[in-house]
Amino acid sequence: MNGKLKVSDDSVFKEFAENGASLDGFSDVKVLEILFNDLFGKTKYDCQALAELMLIEHHTLGGVVHASPKSLSKYLDNEDIVKLKEIGAMHRYVMHERCRFPIKLTDKKTLSELLRAVLFEEQEELLYIFPVIKGKLVSECLIDSGGEDSVNLSVRRIRQKLENIPECTGFVMAHNHPDGSTDPSEQDLISTGTVYDLMAKDGYKLFAHYIYTKDAVSEISLEKAHASYFFCK
């Protein structure tokens, strides 16, 4: 695609104004169309068609603004990719600010938003822990960042992080799968079981281990993880 589609008209801005300069009630396509018109102007792209194509490929607003430069290059030139990535950085910041600690372990919606805010990378696997005090997540700690398919799960590093937090009784663990798979690998299961067992001996409970992709969040079965660890001992 050369990016030179037909020019959008002013109707999208009129709709935006008539809605009180608010995006409430607009579809994802309409929100992106408004964003693209504002970022890129009205003479470069057909912003509605561009929004529709990019949502087909990346599924969500977050998926579009956090897409890799390589995938965006099919639709945008380098200058416009930079502009969109700046919006992505702002989007992550806003999402993070909305997920203020402490967060209840039972608040799955806010927890999912937090994971999206911190585990946004598509090219790099990240591993975080979230210390827990009295049933609430109180902070976040980056344990490791790796390549496309692996991170170093260090029990010693997790222990050091938790020991510096008074009254901490456990933690939640989460990592992302850049390949988009929500299924745990055998290594995921073994590593989870290892952490569960060794940290329990130090008095820290692993409450959950989540896998994040840009489309979904899944939870690793601690029972299966413990079984995998047991048979590998």
Strand 141-145 and strand 217-219: the pairing is unpaired
Residue 219: phi and psi, rounded to 5, are: -115, 130
Q: Residue 230's pLDDT is what?
A: 57
Q: Nearest Cα to 15, choosing from 43, 62, 47, 45? A: 47
* Separation of alpha carbons 167 and 155, rounded Å: 19
Q: What amino acid is encoded at 185 in this protein? A: S
CA angle (105 as vertex; 102, 108 as ends), nearest 5: 105
d(CA 144, CA 220) in angstroms, rounded, equals: 19
Packing angle of the helix pair 155-163, 186-201 (nearest 10 deg): 40
Distance CA 162, CA 199 (A): 10
Q: What is the pLDDT of residues 201-226, one digit of tens each?
A: 999 999 999 999 877 899 999 988 87
Do 222 and 199 touch, CB atoms closer than 8 A? no
Structure tokens that stand for 35 in this block: 């964003």
What mean pLDDT is reported for the chain? Answer: 84
Give the model's pLDDT for residue 59.
81
All residues at 6 or more sequence positions from 107 whose CB lies less than 8 Å from its CB, including other chains: none
- Could you tell me the sign of the dihedral formed by the alpha carbons of 201, 203, 207, 208, in that order? negative
User: Per-residue confidence of the chain (233 residues) as pLDDT tens digits?
Assistant: 334 333 345 665 566 667 665 666 778 888 888 889 889 987 789 999 999 999 999 887 777 887 888 889 999 999 999 999 888 777 777 778 878 899 999 999 899 889 988 887 656 789 999 999 999 999 999 999 876 566 788 999 999 999 999 999 999 999 998 888 899 999 999 999 999 999 999 999 999 999 998 778 999 999 888 776 555 65
pLDDT for position 4: 36
In the DSSP assignment, the letter for residue 203 is T
Write down the residue that tokens 């398919």 correspond to: 149
All domains of the chain in start order, with CATH: 11-96 (no CATH), 100-232 (3.40.140.10)
> pLDDT per residue over 57-77, tens digit each?
988 777 788 788 888 999 999
What is the residue type of 134? K
Burial class (CB in 10 A: 0-12, 13-18, 19+), 30: middle
